[in-house]
Structure 1
Amino acid sequence: MTPGPRNLITDVPGVKVGNAQDDRLKSGCTVLTADTPFVASMHVMGGAPGTRETDLLAPDKTVSEVDALVLAGGSAFGLDACSGVVDALRARQRGYRVGPAIVPIVPGAILFDLLSGGDKNWTENPYRALGRTAFEAASTTFDLGTAGAGTGALSAMLKGGLGSASLQLEDGTMVGALAAANPMGSVTTPGDRYFHAAPFEIDAEFGGLGPDPTTGQGLDLTSRKRALVSDQSNTTIAIVATDARLSKAQCHRVAVAAHDGIARACVPAHSPGDGDLVFALSTGTAPDGNPGLIGHAAALCLTRAIARAIYEATPDPSDLLPSWRSQNA
């Protein structure tokens, strides 16, 4: 397996991603869409998720395809980003058809960044407009780090962010991951230099420092974030994608497997105060795939995407926590 040409989730043919953020708000959203509707499912392993339309993604539910997925900051307010995407899809006559009616189905998930700085004293919810802007910006290239849904993200010790990675399997199947990393846990080992994800790094995509040479990792749970904001101010939300043809039930199993990627990159993960959620989608433009192998590749991609999110974050004077780059310049 090797990374795709962009090392982004958009290496999956037909997939596009758009970001929108407001630096004054210190928050934003990220929208994934595709050239045609896609099969999707999801799995939650955190104790505090915030979601919209995710029940429809269960394998036994009626809707078989969706047109977009949304990751957003803003906690419950950020769910309104999905409404902006619905508006944009309806304007393009895309959505689930019920007779003459068109109903865009746009599942979404949010992370909590309301205490991460920025001016949150709005009079009108800004996320609907951000959602539409992100959808309209969707492309095969997009920014990582302090961008989109990762704009106001924080990990335990360092600034969080938006990350992505991809892998192509030996049979040609493409797999990719997209993550907004705002975990309760730390993405780096004590000292803030080495990544927990280091054993899975490819081509120095997050610094090439290798694993921390010390042992006994996971025992030191020091957290700058906990000292500044609530223990509930967390969540890693992610999307994994493949071009292999998968059923809705198979996408669900891929989403379950992909959660291993969060646990490898964030220590600890899946806590009561995290809303850890993974969407999994299949564009179905390639032949039937091996769900077990695709799930393994999705987990590898998600591990790397989370590390890249922290590695690519850029410092700002108003930040509550330092960025990895400012700590390791």
Structure 2
Amino acid sequence: MGKHQNLITDVAGLRIGNAHDPALASGVTVALFDEPAVASCAVLGGAPGTRETDILEPDKMVPGIHGIVLSGGSAFGLDAASGVQAYLRQQGIGFAVGAAIVPLVSQAVVFDLLNGGNKDWGVYPPYRELGYEAARTAAPSFALGTAGGGFGATTVNLKGGLGSASVMTSSGHTIGAIAIVNSISSAVMGDGPHFWAGAHEEAEEFGGLGHPARISPEMRAHSWKGRRQPSTTIALVATDATLTKAQAKRLAISSHAGIARSLRFSHGLYDGDTVFAASTGRRPLEDDVQDFTQITALAADCLARAIARGVYEATALPFAGAQPAWRDRFGKGE
């Protein structure tokens, strides 16, 4: 086992690639699996943008997939999966159907079209090329914050971004999460520095502030992005535990609790909150009930931490009127 990085790539059997365009203010994050991964997903937001999610349902025949894409660009960003497929096909990776090789790549997108970047891309959007580049550069280590699919992400009051975290169960299974935090609401309490996910923090991974002594009504007040602006938090939770497709579906559903723990609020009409869950199958479950229950519980906490890190690690976009980053406001010179 390699060095613990507190990233989803602590799960053996997957790599992450990022690609982004600073002028566009958007990008793509790709998870590639060393072997086809058993995967499923749960879409609980009211305005999702997805590709190849039906194949992940437990009643569908596809046994595993080769990659998962988390992208900016709203519906235009769905082109990114085509670039990832092109890269995988060049490598000879995919399911053989006669003489054809078909890589299977699922995807979800966030809406980042109003963040100040130049979206005048001409006839075709650039996400296919960004997807290809993200796949080509996938590696065990990767940047967080304003990077990849989180490059253009925002929340209601602070810059959003790409976050990740990992944890190990008592029986030795590794769980990791990666998220693009583009929330319609807030990751912090009121106008202050405290993250809603503060109770789940490990080793000061997002500032070490925990929760305040008292959470006031003002801190609990709801706020959200104005107008009918879709906003979404999308994520992948992965484990090295050997899971069935039905268990992956249950893991995706239960992991949505991590979104609810770290954002106030989530799963609204104008967001597309989506969680993928994947198993790289490196470690069998010792006790199906006990091991799997702990995996679902810890995965939700891990996702909450990844979401807070996505905001904590972000840097502001260099545009007039761009949202401040958490570190700009509360970082004490970081």
Same fold by TM (over 0.5)? yes
AA at the equivalent of 1:174 = T
State yes or no: 1:69 paired with 2:78: no
Residues 190 and 220, structure 2, Cα contact 8 Å, conserved in 1? no
Q: How far is the alpha carbon of 1:259 from its aligned partner?
A: 0.3
SS of equivalent to 1:237: strand
Q: Which among 309, 326, 329 is matched to residue 328 of structure 2?
A: 326
Q: Matches of 1:306 and 1:165 in 2, distance apart?
A: 9
8 Å Cα contact 1:21/1:130 also seen in 2? yes
- Distance, in Å, in 2 between the alignment partners of 1:284 and 1:277 is 22
Q: Distance in 2 between matches of 1:317 and 1:31?
A: 25
Query: Does the residue aligned with 2:271 lie in a helix, a strand or coil?
Result: coil
Q: Distance in 2 between matches of 1:140 and 1:7?
A: 11
Describe how 1:10-49 pairs up with structure 2 within 5 A.
Answer: 10-49=9-48
Q: Secondary structure at the match of 2:31?
A: strand
Displacement of 1:216 after TM fit?
4.2
Q: Distance in 2 between matches of 1:299 and 1:231?
A: 28
Letter paired with 2:243: L
Unaligned runs of 5+ residues in structure 1 are none
Q: Which runs of 4+ in 1 moved over 2 A?
A: 212-219, 230-233, 288-291
Aligned positions of 1:256-267 closer than 5 A? 256-267=253-264
Q: What's the CA shift for 1:212?
A: 2.5
TM-score (norm. length: structure 1): 0.95
Deviation at 1:192, TM superposition (A): 3.1
Q: Is the 8 A contact 1:253 1:291 kept in 2?
A: no
One-letter identity of the residue aligned with 1:6: Q
Question: Residue 296 of structure 1 aligns with which residue?
Answer: 297
Contact 2:17-2:142 within 8 A present in 1 as well: yes
Contact 1:184/1:231 (CA < 8 Å) preserved in 2? no
Partner residue in 2 for 1:281: 278
Give the aligned residue type for 1:120.
Answer: K
Structure 2 counterpart SS, 1:107: strand
Deviations 1:230-267 (A, max 9, x none): 44330000000000100000000000110000000010
Instruction: Work out the CA distance in 2 between the residues paired with 1:268 and 1:247.
Output: 31
Q: Which of 238, 241, 247 is the aligned partner of 2:238?
A: 241
User: 2 CA distance for matches of 1:284 and 1:215?
Assistant: 42
Residues 10-56 of structure 1 show CA distances to partners (whole Å, capped at 9, x for unaligned) of 00012100000000000001000121111100001100100000000
> Aligned equivalents of 2:203 and 2:157: distance in 1?
25
Give yes or no for the alignment of 1:110 onto 2:112. no
Looking at structure 1, the residues matched to 39 and 317 of structure 2 have their Cα atoms a distance apart, in angstroms, of: 36
Aligned to 1:207: 207
Letter in 1 for 2:273: D
Q: Is the 8 A contact 1:189 1:212 kept in 2?
A: no
Secondary structure of 2:87's match? Answer: helix
Distance (whole Å) between structure 1 residues aligned to residue 20 and residue 318 of structure 2? 17
Distance 1:213 1:45 in 2: 32
Range with greater deviation from structure 2 (283-292 or 269-278): 283-292
Number of equivalences: 322
User: Which residue of 2 is the match for residue 153 of structure 1?
Assistant: 153
Q: Report how far residue 221 of structure 1 moved.
A: 1.9
Report the alpha carbon displacement of residue 116 of structure 1 after superposing the two structures with TM.
1.1
The CA deviation string for residues 141-189 of structure 1, in whole angstroms up to 9 with x for no partner, is 0000000110111111100000000001111100000000001111000
Deviation at 1:292, TM superposition (A): 1.7
Q: TM-score, normalised by structure 2?
A: 0.94
CA distance in 1, matches of 2:62, 2:229: 32
| Residue identity matched to 2:328 | S
Q: Residue in 2 aligned with 1:253?
A: 250
Corresponding position of 1:181: 181
- Secondary structure at the residue paired with 1:41? strand
3-state SS of paired residue (2:83): helix
Q: Percent identity among equivalent residues?
A: 50
Deviations, residues 59-94 of structure 1 (Å, cap 9, x unaligned): 000111110000000000000000000000111111
**Structure 1 letter corresponding to 2:298:** A
